[in-house]
Structure 1
Amino acid sequence: MDRRTTTLHASLLLLLTALVAVCTLGPVWRYGAVAAANAVPLVVLATQLGRRTAPHRVGWALMLVGTAGLLVHNTHNAVSVAGTGGPAHGPLATASMAVGYSLLLAGAVPATLPYARQDGGGMIDAVVIGLAAASLLWGVVLQPAHVRLGSSTATKVDEMVLALLVTALTGMVVRVAVVADEARAPALFLVAAMVATNAADIGFTLTLDPATGLSAWWPSALCVVPLLAFVAALVHPTVPALARPEPPPRGLTRPYLAFLGAALAVNPALAGLGQLLGRPVDLLLFATGSLLMVPLVVARIGLLARHQAHSERLLRELATRDELTGLPNRRALTSHLTSVLDAVAAGRAPGMVLLYLDLDDFKAVNDSHGHLAGDRLLQSVAARVRAGVPGSALVARFGGDEFVVVLTGEPARTAPALVATVGRVLDDPIPLGDVLASGRASIGVASVEAGARRDVDGVLGEADASMYAAKRTRRADPAPC
């Protein structure tokens, strides 16, 4: 962290200490302190948007408007406490808080979207765990407090929805902090901001005096913390890294699955415990929690199924592909050749031609220039043959410096054309850095007429024998250099 950032964070810490001290002086002072703290992120967001340094402009703009809404709410409260001795009520107070929190949360979404695309399963898990924590918070702490205060249904709904949203988003930001090494510092500041927001909400509810509408001083002090922690995240030099998600950590483990299972069991457990204790079941929480959890669980199962299908496809490819050249390997060749021979024997194909290629100078390249040059030669030969033969042909690496080409067609016409094509594409030298190497190969041919029944080993053996005969002929009468 550079000197400028250190100075900014030290200044924020001093401002936090001063505003917390102001909160102890009385109701008017503490509401004024929260309003003053609220102005700081508003200025920082406006400055970053003006300088075009915000990593998520849409999200930053939404948070700017949301912060302005909360500033209106907190200023209105400060004015009301100064004039009437109690916090503000009415449409402006309700709307400014609702708009402020809604837009702040909406603005945080663009920052998490890149992670949701790359780490969708982990983000869903984080939301599920966050919702479970919110359910515990509401069922054990906030809901009994609102029952004791005689709060209206609308107040309870507002409080519950806010707790669910903030805690779910906290889970997502915690996940970002876990995954994003480069952006961990600003992510942790955001986690601190959200935890403090929830703690302040709890404090306001638990210490609320129904007669005056005022709470203790310390929840207001806690309200200062998220506002300045938010600023600390915004001015951190690594905050642009939030736009560059890193690969997620390894997937599900048994303890992690057990933890997720426990999170999903929270709402039913709270309902069952309430019944055992003779308390009414909080149907609002149970219904809302279920409506939020079920789609998330279905989405998570869908991601797991897609990941499983992708893994199985990769395993199949690994089992049937040659790692060096990317061509089908010997196992894939055998499977394909079996199917083609069956079709030829049944008359469903007009015949088949198989070419067996063995590179003539591969050992010399390996011995003279090393195995890396030999590997590059094999890759170049594979690419040339694959590009030169018809698209319906199978080109496979049989092993070592041996390749096989399989093509259906009437043998009398197909075989000469296919041999000529392969010979032509391998005729020119192959550049391997500063070296030109020969990619020429001895080619053996095996043909199967329509209706003839042959087995895989017999056809490969015939082509192998033909290849060795061609190699002996080439050695006896080498091509001119």
Structure 2
Amino acid sequence: MTRWPRAAAPAWPVHAATFLVTVTAATAYGISGPHLRPVIFSLVTLVPVATFAGALGVGHLADRRPWLIAAGGLVLLAVSMAFWSDWVSAHHFGRAEGRAADFGIAAAHLLFLAGAGGVLRKHGANDFAGLLDAALFGVCMAGPVWAWLLAPRLTPAATPLGEMLVLADVAVLSAVLGCLVRIGRRVSRARGPIAYLLLCIAATLGAHVTGVLTASHGSAVPSAVLLMIAYLTIAGAALHPAAPMITNPDRPGREVTGKPPLLWMGAALCANPLIAAIQAVRGDQGAGVLLPVGSMLAVPLVLLRLRQMSLLRSEAEQTLAHHAHHDELTGLHNRRHVVAEIDRALADLERGVIDEVTVLLLDLDGFKPVNDRYGHQAGDAVLRTVAARLAEAAAPGDVVGRIGGDEFLVLRRGRAGGDLASRVAGLVGTSIEVGDASVRVGVSAGIASVLRGAGIDRDALIGRADAAMYAQKAAHRKRDREPVLGVG
């Protein structure tokens, strides 16, 4: 499918076009009369809708569903601007009047931001904690901005519902801005379109601030220009050659973790109540709005962060528990676990729970030449393959472990017989692919069993199996049956 523009195309034409269209639109809006300004503004709102439709139509934007949701938000914005054409030009923007237009714009913002969040979800998959912290920081920063910059300058036309909508919009936009900054620091290929999204959010926040500051007396042109910049930078993000990379992280590797910011989360929870208390004491306007809105946004983020920390701790505990009982290289049980299982089996034997305990001790023949010729990575690959084959040969109730180097042990709560040793030797002796080479190793096995009442402890049982294994290894050497290293 044809890409538009091509992914390998330079980005400067997009930058130049965005700049020129923005300057033209801002100039035309500034010099036009009150009847023409709504038309210019409405036409600007259609630009990102058209660019998104074109980019989606030719397949330039990958992962279509979240982009379609974001485009739906843009369509709702354009429809709202067409229906309430005087919302910006007549200076209703920033008055917090709680009109139907305020609901429509807030819903459009949420829809677009939901789509943008879906587009960026892969970038945040390995940094969920960092994104939560960035969002929480944005929400908390919105508190003092609202309390000491915006709320005192609201006009008498402001209503509690309108104030809540403006505050929620500012807080959500601040949270998204923090997340975009966090993501932008960790990406390279998608940095261009993400920068456009950053400009869009920053311009929208700036429009909110200027709209409130100039609501009593001042021109609505600055707010309108900032909003037009926001619309046109959205279009620039869709047109940018690197836009397809937004949905593809540069480094989808290990999760980014760090020290849990408990002090920061505590401060975040206390910030809005403290500001609201100061407002109430001083009798500031909007004292009753910050606490409910700020809490509704901050508390869920803190709870998500605590849940994420709890999950990380649980995963860490499971990992530690796994490493305490398993060999890191092969995934088999380690020596400590195997020894403990032998002790348990012998205790069950003495209590009459089982009738016999068998230990099969194995040592690889011809393993050292593999290490010497192909290196330790090849040796590790051989050990992992042998471990998988041993696990395949063992019965469901057997305990299979690596007890050191190229030595393995199989514990069976019952009689093993010679079939286990012969099956293991057959599986292990099959060729193993190591890069471009094919190698073979053999195995020397020693079996020892103990019946109830024999009075043999774990060391004696392992010693018997060890003696039998070395006897077989000596016989192999004497007959010159050591496996030959073959190259495929």
Q: Which of the five TM-score ranges fits, normalised by the shorter chain?
A: 0.7 to 0.9
Cα pair distance change 1:459/1:67, threshold 3 Å: same
2:114 to 73, 94, 106: 106
Determine if contact 2:360/2:465 at 8 Å carries over to the other structure.
Answer: yes
Which residue identity does 1:396 align to in structure 2?
G
Give the whole-Å Cα distance in 2 for the aligned partners of 1:72 and 1:436.
67
2:287 to 270, 282, 289: 282
1:362 to 360, 367, 371: 367
Determine if contact 2:102/2:165 at 8 Å carries over to the other structure.
Answer: no
SS of the aligned residue for 2:188 comes to coil
1:13 to 16, 19, 43: 19
SS of the aligned residue for 1:356 comes to strand
The aligned counterpart of 1:43 is 50
Determine if contact 2:363/2:443 at 8 Å carries over to the other structure.
Answer: yes
Determine if contact 1:73/1:92 at 8 Å carries over to the other structure.
Answer: no
Give the whole-Å Cα distance in 1 for the aligned partners of 2:246 and 2:451.
64
* Pairing of 1:33-72 with structure 2 (within 5 A): 33-72=40-79
* CA deviation map 1:171-203 (0-9, x unaligned): 332333233332122112111111110111111
Cα pair distance change 1:93/1:427, threshold 3 Å: closer
The aligned counterpart of 2:3 is none
1:139 aligns with 2:139: no
1:265 to 267, 270, 274: 270
Give the whole-Å Cα distance in 1 for the aligned partners of 2:297 and 2:451.
64
* Pairing of 1:226-265 with structure 2 (within 5 A): 226-245=230-249, 246-247=251-252, 250-253=256-259, 258-265=263-270
The aligned counterpart of 1:127 is 135
Give the whole-Å Cα distance in 2 for the aligned partners of 1:42 and 1:230.
9
Pairs aligned (count): 471
2:228 to 214, 224, 227: 224
Of 302-311 and 267-276, deviating more is 267-276
1:152 to 145, 152, 159: 159
Identical aligned residues as a percent = 30
1:185 to 180, 192, 195: 192
Q: Which structure 2 residue ranges, 5 or more long, are not aligned? A: 1-6, 484-488
Q: CA deviation at 1:99?
A: 4.6
Cα pair distance change 1:480/1:292, threshold 3 Å: closer
Give the whole-Å Cα distance in 1 for the aligned partners of 2:230 and 2:447.
77
Determine if contact 2:67/2:119 at 8 Å carries over to the other structure.
Answer: no
Give the whole-Å Cα distance in 2 for the aligned partners of 1:388 and 1:328.
15
SS of the aligned residue for 1:13 comes to helix
Determine if contact 1:354/1:447 at 8 Å carries over to the other structure.
Answer: yes
Q: CA deviation at 1:453?
A: 4.4
Determine if contact 1:346/1:451 at 8 Å carries over to the other structure.
Answer: no
The aligned counterpart of 1:349 is 354
Give the whole-Å Cα distance in 2 for the aligned partners of 1:353 and 1:149.
88
Q: CA deviation at 1:378?
A: 3.1
Cα pair distance change 1:351/1:97, threshold 3 Å: same
Which residue identity does 1:120 align to in structure 2?
F
Give the whole-Å Cα distance in 1 for the aligned partners of 2:442 and 2:162.
83
Cα pair distance change 1:44/1:376, threshold 3 Å: closer
2:441 to 439, 442, 446: 439
* CA deviation map 1:380-399 (0-9, x unaligned): 33332221121221222222
SS of the aligned residue for 2:43 comes to helix
Q: CA deviation at 1:317?
A: 2.8
Which residue identity does 1:252 align to in structure 2?
G
Structure with greater helix percent: 1
1:399 to 369, 386, 404: 404
The aligned counterpart of 1:166 is 173
Give the whole-Å Cα distance in 2 for the aligned partners of 1:435 and 1:109.
47
Of 91-100 and 31-40, deviating more is 91-100
Cα pair distance change 1:383/1:233, threshold 3 Å: same
Determine if contact 2:66/2:118 at 8 Å carries over to the other structure.
Answer: yes
1:25 to 20, 31, 46: 31
Q: CA deviation at 1:98?
A: 4.5
Which residue identity does 2:338 align to in structure 1?
L
Determine if contact 1:359/1:401 at 8 Å carries over to the other structure.
Answer: yes
Give the whole-Å Cα distance in 2 for the aligned partners of 1:229 and 1:197.
11
Give the whole-Å Cα distance in 1 for the aligned partners of 2:425 and 2:291.
73
SS of the aligned residue for 2:60 comes to coil
Of 38-47 and 178-187, deviating more is 178-187
Q: CA deviation at 1:325?
A: 2.7
Which residue identity does 2:56 align to in structure 1?
L
Cα pair distance change 1:373/1:151, threshold 3 Å: closer
The aligned counterpart of 2:392 is 387
Determine if contact 2:87/2:101 at 8 Å carries over to the other structure.
Answer: no
Give me the TM-score of the superposition, normalised by structure 1.
0.86
SS of the aligned residue for 2:185 comes to helix
* Pairing of 1:369-384 with structure 2 (within 5 A): 370-384=375-389
Give the whole-Å Cα distance in 1 for the aligned partners of 2:8 and 2:371.
53
SS of the aligned residue for 2:241 comes to coil
Of 170-179 and 394-403, deviating more is 170-179
Determine if contact 1:56/1:110 at 8 Å carries over to the other structure.
Answer: no
Give the whole-Å Cα distance in 1 for the aligned partners of 2:244 and 2:281.
51
Give the whole-Å Cα distance in 2 for the aligned partners of 1:133 and 1:367.
61
2:300 to 281, 295, 299: 295
Give the whole-Å Cα distance in 1 for the aligned partners of 2:74 and 2:275.
35
Which residue identity does 2:399 align to in structure 1?
L
Give the whole-Å Cα distance in 1 for the aligned partners of 2:379 and 2:303.
50
Cα pair distance change 1:93/1:432, threshold 3 Å: closer
Determine if contact 1:31/1:220 at 8 Å carries over to the other structure.
Answer: no
Give the whole-Å Cα distance in 1 for the aligned partners of 2:368 and 2:11.
61
Q: CA deviation at 1:73?
A: 3.7
Cα pair distance change 1:157/1:475, threshold 3 Å: closer
